[in-house]
A and B are shown apart, each in its own frame.
Chain A
């Protein structure tokens, strides 16, 4: 189905509304983290980095998993809307990855005594980030839309395969990275104030992910519709 300007406008309006909602929710997370959560005894204020780092990591992993799943669908159905969604999700995933990969080392410096260490979780996450930088570079280098979508889909699926390894890396390898405290078989091991703030963080970055992707997807469809109209 060809995108139209009017349908793209509707998608963009939704995207703007959800993005604004996500930014407001994120401001709420900041307020709760600074004013409501207790100060952790051993790490001090550095522990509060966790409320921005972990939700950003969650949304990055959701974004890259969806790129892979939608790419599988694209290779099957060859629908250009799926390719546009995958490209949007990859770009947004990179934004969350930048936050994950900068706030992590800022926490690591006072707690581990180093900005970076080549442990399994950190290294695999960096590889995933670079793989999706490659994905975006590939998209801008190939001009034929069908070829670009096909090549990008294959790379997107390979990126998705890394995601479960990153989650399980703390169990599979000796690593400095803390173990999961929420996404694990047993119940979350956190005081209620910390858990509530973290859950709001997950909600805020999920809403932001949806807002960013819907808006980015709407913009892509709008560009396609304008191109169709002009040709």
Chain B
């Protein structure tokens, strides 16, 4: 493993988790709103 790889992995995981949690929650809320009013 290259030097300081643990720090890089930690930073990449933090960023991915934040993007996925925030993006995922927005997408879920959007899809729920779209479904609530139907496609018509």
Residues of chain A at the chain B interface (Cβ within 8 Å):
5, 8-9, 12-13, 15-16, 19-20, 22-23, 26, 30, 33, 39, 43-46, 48-49, 52-53, 56, 95, 98-99, 102-103, 106-107, 109-110, 208, 211-212, 215-216, 218-219, 222
Contact = CB atoms under 8 A, between A and B. Distances in A.
B4 A219 contact: no
Contacts of A44: 2-5
Interface of B: 2-5, 7-8, 10-12, 14-16, 18-20, 22-23, 26-27, 29-31, 33-34, 37
B6 to A, nearest CB: 8
A165 to B, nearest CB: 25
B35 to A, nearest CB: 11
- The secondary structure that dominates the A interface is helix
7 contacts: A9-B37, A15-B30, A19-B27, A44-B3, A45-B3, A95-B18, A102-B18
A23 B26 CA distance: 13
Given A19-B26, A103-B11, A110-B7, A12 B19 contact: no
B22 A95 contact: yes
A30 B16 contact: yes
Contacts of A52: 11-12, 15
For the complex of A and B, the 8 pairs showing the least CB-CB separation, nearest first, are: A44-B3, A46-B4, A44-B4, A45-B8, A45-B5, A103-B11, A49-B11, A106-B11
Contact of A98 (B18, B20, B29): B18
Given A45-B7, A95-B22, A110-B7, 11 more contacts: A23-B23, A30-B12, A44-B5, A45-B5, A48-B8, A49-B11, A52-B15, A102-B11, A106-B10, A107-B11, A219-B29
